[in-house]
Amino acid sequence: MDISLPLDKMTSLDKIAVMEKLWDDLCRNPESISSPEWHREVLQDREREINEGNSKFTAFDRAKERIRNKIK
C-alpha cells in the first residue's frame, strides 16, 4: 500500500494529530505488534541495574523541569 500525505502542506499540529491517530489505532491491537529483541535486552539491563542498586530515579516533575532547563 502506498500512502501519500501532503506533508509539505501540513502544519506541525496536523502532523502530530496524524501520528496520534496512527498510535491510537496501533494500540487497539497491541498483541499484533511484537517487541524487538533489543527492547527485551534493554529492559533486562535496566532491571539488573535496579536489582544491583546502581539506578537512580527522579520524580517525573523534576525530570521535566531539568529537561526544559537544559533545552532553553
pLDDT tens-digit map of 20-35: 999 999 999 989 999 9
* Residues 32-47, mean pLDDT to the nearest whole number: 95
* Residues 28-52, mean pLDDT to the nearest whole number: 95
Give CA angle at 25 (23, 28), nearest 5°.
110
Residue 72 pLDDT exceeds 90: no
Give the H/E segment covering residue 35: none
pTM of the model: 0.49
Euclidean distance between CA atoms 23 and 27, whole angstroms: 6
**Is residue 27 within 8 Å of residue 19, measured between CB atoms?**
no
At 29, give phi and psi (nearest 5°): -135, 65
